[in-house]
Amino acid sequence: MALSDIINPKSGQAFMMCNEAIVRAGIESDVKVVSFYPGAPTSEILDTFGAAQAHFDYHFSIATNEKVALETVAGASMAGFRTLTSMKSVGLNVAADAFFSLGYTGTKGGMVVVVADDPHCHSSQSEEDGRFFGPGAYIPMMEPADPSEARRMVMHAFEVSERHRVPVLVRTTTRVNHQSGIVRLGPVKRKAFKKAKWSEVGETYFTVGEIARRNKLKALERAAALQNEFEDSAFNVVTKGKGDFGIITSGVGYCYAVDAGRALKIKPHILKLGTTYPLPEKKITAFLKPLKRVAVVEELSPYLEHAVKRIIHDQGLAVAVMGKGTGHFSEALEYNVSIVAQALAAMTGADNPLEYETILKRANDLKSVLPDRIPIFCAGCPHRATLRAIQQAIKGRNVIYNNDIGCYSMAFFPPLNFSDSMLCMGASLGLSAGMAPVLEDSVMAMVGDSTFFHAALPGLVNAVYQNLNITIFILDNEVTAMTGQQVHMGTPEGRGMPPGKKRIMIEEVCRAIGVEHLKVVDAYDVKGNVALIKAALDFQGPAVIVFRRSCALHGDRIKRRSGVPIIPNAVDKAACQKPHACIREFYCPAITFDADDRAARIQPETCDGCGVCAQICRFGAIHPVSAKGPGKEKKK
Amino acid sequence: MSGKKGFDMVLAGVGGQGIVMLSNALGNACLAAGQKVITGELHGLSQRSGSVYIHMRIGGDVLSPLIPYGQADAIVSLEGMEALRYIEYLKENGVIIMNSRLIHPPVEVARLSREKRVDFVALDSILEKMKVVTSGIAAIDALSLAHKAGEPLAENAVFIGALSCLASFPLSAEQLKKGLLRVLPEQAAEKNMRAFDLGQQAAYETLCGQLECRMP
């Protein structure tokens, strides 16, 4: 994809990632307000709307969290404007309070909520199945399988939303969001943005008690109307096959099922469902009627499978359902063609030409020479320095360490192996509130800047009010680093903060809440920070240390753009005594050692010049290359 | 498989090497050449140094963004070890075009340090393992070729050039160059084209004796 494809006013074709196709759909649909909190695998939707913003008149904002983002777009929709937000599966948990009520109040301008589940937990804490949000909130739900369909479906979802005065949930999975393909584009025809008048909107959006009871009845009527409409939806597609075996599927499961069927040389009838709430029950019934057996191919929960079983029961059909209930499929992990082919072969008795176990076994044997390449902190990452200081400070103390969601979660991995819990956004504060009164240990909570604004703030208010004995480390690297360095409420001016925004200082928030023991430090000052951490641990009551230093990726990018040189460090080989503390205890991707003399070596193309390793080295062997004397190392 | 067989390949590398740009260049080349293409990508988090891959499926009657095990026609890897990490996807006697340069992860470096050893994983041991699956391997020193082209960041262009020499690859060198130019800033074009040519030449010299290649 190129930005030129997103902003191209003409119809045509482009090679696009699904997330970009969703943005294009929004732009073609004349979306006027978009708001987000980043989260894999949806972050590119936010990033692309942000990148294209200058070319259009939509209002774009990064909100404190998914709930605020959802409310932002709901508010604009209530005022009659087309809006869109996207979030990862667990993000919709945060936004769920608003989401469920929107099923009652309804909306006005077309409103699309994209939620991305993450089977296999590639970048999430659970394999949560977001499909239950649709029926739970009486909010219609659609599921695309590829980028082209995602574009068409999102455009259609705006119309459904306006017709039925309710948000539409577009549910994806990682393998849909991060799928690219050739997408057919329509023309971009937008009307100029013009503020509306509330008096002309002529609506109220209120729900409690008697009004809520009436809203509920309206939601049920709406669901029935939507079901009727979806019976004829072009997104529910039957492909005729041969015999009495069929497949019901949706999303990327459809792609796997079609390819697996081809591999097995079988021709099952296939019903691909695009509208998965309300389900087109008549269409499903008609599909099932001539069949003896039906396989349901869907990752995660047996959402469709249970619905199919109920329909069979209600309609008095005699069709055997095969899927998770029969043990052919698992509710865990994501699928692929090989997995689906294996299951379909077992169901149909077809020969399976796709080897699976033998190939994997041989590959695993061959790969045994490979070292793991786990995600680690980048060269220059301030978290590496912060965690080093914390580990030095807690020596000899009994501590419990509650981690939170962000790059710093990786403290759990080697060499630190350092985390007793990680639950969800902001939970380090809440869990600590439960542990502080019941554990003899020092209770520590670690939370990043973006997560602080997102969900940790209520936990901090609680900790101060309850006067809990908790040491709170707030890791401020200026951006939401893990999802791609998006800005947040604390991003400084000149470091990405958009014009017209007001930066919120974390320490001022802490002070206003009433945190008495508060320090703001440079994360790179490992030696100096050890004593401050000890003092915080000794303090009775909530103590906060804000470790401030730019995310290395973000900071280096700004340096490169503004022509500020990045001066790498180098090892003075004569001074290196080879205990390799810089390697064994630090795991910086820039530091290795030479096989001939075992002296440490810093790779200049990777080094960010943070100099923290120089503090780790007890022999003073590490210096910036521009310094006199050492550092004139030859490049290997 | 029934249906038209296309060209399936796994692009692999280490986070930060620019695998998304590689995929974008190839995808745009397919678009311009009228070839159907789909990808399945894994690059969820932004930290550098992790293993990343993109499945790319050109032409062919397939819908799945992921290639079934043992079906990829090629693995293209911007880093040496990562080519082996996805070996289960390669078909028997498929092609591997890989960087001869290895990036040793801190996990390996630290383990060797602790065990007082110096036997880093070597290119030869990687190649030896790969040869169980295929002999069609081009290990290219892409960084020195990129340096030679005058742009050390043009390793991606070296690999796209290398791909162009495969007779089985559905796009021509010209079509690939067009795709690459579409995603490059204008001022980087000339050096990247040079890197492309050097990659094409290097792959031809290594592979022409073993499989059908196009003359650069």
Q: Could you tell me the mean pLDDT of each successive run of 10 residues in chain B, 216 residues long?
A: 84 92 96 97 74 96 96 97 97 97 95 96 98 97 97 96 97 97 94 98 94 92
Instruction: Tell me which DSSP letter residue A455 carries.
Output: I
For A136, list phi and psi in degrees, rounded to 5. -60, -35
Instruction: Tell me which DSSP letter residue A421 carries.
Output: B
Q: Grade residue A199 by pLDDT with cuts at 50, 70 and 90.
A: very high
Q: Which domain holds residue A270?
A: 237-367
| Cα separation, A226 vs A164, whole angstroms | 8
- Tell me, yes or no, whether A635 lies in a domain: no
A45 and A127 inside one domain:
yes
Token pair of A390 as six digits: 């914390």
pLDDT one-digit tens code per residue, A226-277: 999 999 999 999 999 999 999 999 999 999 999 999 999 999 999 999 999 9
How far apart are the CA of B98 and the nearest CA of chain A, in angstroms?
15
Q: Give the β-pairing of A543-548 and A470-476.
A: parallel
Q: Do the Cβ atoms of A243 and A136 come closer than 8 Å?
A: no
Q: How many percent of chain A have pLDDT more than 90?
A: 97
- Tell me, yes or no, whether A634 lies in a domain: no
Tell me if residue A228 falls in helix, strand or coil: helix
pLDDT of residue B48: 74
DSSP states along A310-337: HHHHHHT---EEESTTTTSS-SSS---H
Tell me if residue A246 falls in helix, strand or coil: strand
Select from A256, A341, A378 the Cβ nearest to the Cβ of B47.
A378
Cβ contact A378–B43 (<8 Å): no
Q: Do the Cβ atoms of A113 and A168 come closer than 8 Å?
A: yes
For residue B30, the chain A residues in CB contact (below 8 A) are 15, 182
Sequence-separated (6 or more) residues with CB below 8 Å from residue A17: A1, A44, A147, A177, A178, A179, A180, B41
Residue B170 CA to its chain's centroid (Å): 15
Domain boundary among A341, A367, A393: A367
A216 and A249 inside one domain:
no
How far apart are the CA of B49 and the nearest CA of chain A, in angstroms?
6
The H-assigned helical ranges of A404-562 are 427-435, 449-451, 457-465, 506-513, 526-538, 552-561
A211 and A332 inside one domain:
no
A593 touches B: beta carbon within 8 Å: yes
By C-alpha distance, the chain B residue nearest A2 is: B183
B215 touches A: beta carbon within 8 Å: no
A333 touches B: beta carbon within 8 Å: no
Q: Which helix (H) or strand (E) holds A50?
A: helix A43-52
**Between A252-264 and A337-348, two packed helices, what is the crossing angle to 10 degrees?**
60
B185 touches A: beta carbon within 8 Å: no
CA angle A78, A79, A83 (to 5 degrees): 70
How far apart are the CA of B199 and the nearest CA of chain A, in angstroms?
22
A41 touches B: beta carbon within 8 Å: yes
- Of A414 and A304, more confident: A304
What is the ipTM, given to two decimal places?
0.96
| Cα separation, A406 vs A419, whole angstroms | 13
Q: What is the CATH number of the domain that holds A598?
A: 3.30.70.20
Architecture of domain B7-207: 3-Layer(aba) Sandwich (3.40)
For residue A593, the chain B residues in CB contact (below 8 A) are 109, 112-113
- Tell me, yes or no, whether A269 lies in a domain: yes
Token pair of A296 as six digits: 């349901």
| Cα separation, A275 vs A317, whole angstroms | 23
pLDDT of residue A11: 97
For residue B68, the chain A residues in CB contact (below 8 A) are 259, 263, 336-338, 341, 354
| Cα separation, A243 vs A290, whole angstroms | 9
A180 touches B: beta carbon within 8 Å: yes
Cβ contact B44–A379 (<8 Å): no
| Cα separation, A24 vs A48, whole angstroms | 9
Q: What is the CATH number of the domain that holds A278?
A: 3.40.50.920
A111 and A78 inside one domain:
yes
| Cβ neighbourhood burial of A248 (10 Å; 0-12, 13-18, 19+) | buried
A78 and A50 inside one domain:
yes
pLDDT of residue B16: 86
The H-assigned helical ranges of A440-505 are 449-451, 457-465
For A446, list phi and psi in degrees, rounded to 5. -125, 130
Cβ contact B46–A485 (<8 Å): yes
Q: How many percent of chain A have pLDDT more than 70?
A: 98
B76 touches A: beta carbon within 8 Å: no
Q: In Å, how far are A363, A479, B21, B42, B104 from B15, measured between CA atoms? A: 22, 19, 12, 10, 13
Task: Average the pLDDT over A186-210 and give the result.
Answer: 97
For residue B2, the chain A residues in CB contact (below 8 A) are 262, 265
Token pair of A540 as six digits: 């009775």
Q: Do the Cβ atoms of A94 and A458 come closer than 8 Å?
A: no
Average pLDDT score, chain B: 94
A446 and A324 inside one domain:
no
Q: Do the Cβ atoms of B92 and B133 come closer than 8 Å?
A: yes
Q: Do the Cβ atoms of A354 and A340 come closer than 8 Å?
A: no
Q: Do the Cβ atoms of B101 and B139 come closer than 8 Å?
A: no
For residue A262, the chain B residues in CB contact (below 8 A) are 1-3, 61
Domain tally, chain A: 4
| Cα separation, A33 vs A82, whole angstroms | 7
Q: Do the Cβ atoms of A593 and A602 come closer than 8 Å?
A: no
- Tell me, yes or no, whether A374 lies in a domain: no
Q: Do the Cβ atoms of B21 and B184 come closer than 8 Å?
A: no
Go through B103-128 and write b for each residue having 16 or more CB atoms within 10 A of its CB, e for each that does not. Answer: bbbbbbbbbbbeeeeeebbebeebbe
A285 and A400 inside one domain:
no
Q: How many CB pairs under 8 A join A and B?
A: 204
Q: Grade residue A83 by pLDDT with cuts at 50, 70 and 90.
A: very high
pLDDT of residue A348: 98
pLDDT at A339 over 90: yes
Cβ contact B45–A355 (<8 Å): no
pLDDT at A631 over 80: no
- Tell me, yes or no, whether A375 lies in a domain: no
pLDDT of residue A355: 79
Q: Grade residue A632 by pLDDT with cuts at 50, 70 and 90.
A: very low
Closest CA to A488 of A464, A516, A453, A517: A453
- Tell me, yes or no, whether A277 lies in a domain: yes
Which residues are registered as beta bridge partners of A246?
Answer: A269, A294
Place of tokens 């068409």: A152
Token pair of B200 as six digits: 């094409």
| Cα separation, A165 vs A112, whole angstroms | 11
A92 and A165 inside one domain:
yes
pLDDT of residue A1: 58
Cβ contact B2–A182 (<8 Å): no
Mutate to test the interface with A, among B14, B17, B64, B91 (most CBs of A within 10 A): B64
Size of chain A in residues: 636
A27 and A161 inside one domain:
yes
Go through A318-344 and write b for each residue having 16 or more CB atoms within 10 A of its CB, e for each that does not. Answer: ebebbbbeeebbeeeebbbbbbbbbbb
pLDDT one-digit tens code per residue, A394-413: 999 999 999 999 999 999 99
Cβ contact B49–A370 (<8 Å): no
| Cα separation, A631 vs A330, whole angstroms | 56
pLDDT of residue B50: 87
| Cα separation, B117 vs B111, whole angstroms | 8
Token pair of A244 as six digits: 């009495």
Which residues are registered as beta bridge partners of B97?
Answer: B76, B138
A252 and A269 inside one domain:
yes
Sequence-separated (6 or more) residues with CB below 8 Å from residue A326: none
Residue type, A429: L
pLDDT at A636 over 70: no
pLDDT of residue A161: 98
| Cα separation, A507 vs A500, whole angstroms | 22
Cβ contact A256–B82 (<8 Å): no
pLDDT of residue A2: 77
A255 touches B: beta carbon within 8 Å: yes
A407 and A361 inside one domain:
no
Q: Do the Cβ atoms of B173 and B214 come closer than 8 Å?
A: yes
DSSP states along B6-53: -EEEEEEEETTS-HHHHHHHHHHHHHHHT--EEEEEE--S--SSSEEE
A555 and A597 inside one domain:
no
Place of tokens 């991606």: B156
| Cα separation, B15 vs B49, whole angstroms | 5
pLDDT of residue A394: 97
pLDDT of residue B46: 58
Average pLDDT score, chain A: 96
pLDDT of residue B2: 55
pLDDT one-digit tens code per residue, A117-162: 999 999 999 999 999 999 999 999 999 999 999 999 999 999 999 9
Q: What is the CATH number of the domain that holds A113?
A: 3.40.50.970
Q: Do the Cβ atoms of A570 and A611 come closer than 8 Å?
A: no
Size of chain B in residues: 216
For residue B11, the chain A residues in CB contact (below 8 A) are none
By C-alpha distance, the chain A residue nearest B87 is: A363
Integer Rg of chain B from CA: 17
Q: Give the β-pairing of A543-548 and A269-273.
A: unpaired
For residue B19, the number of C-alpha atoms closer than 13 Å in the C-beta half-sphere is 30
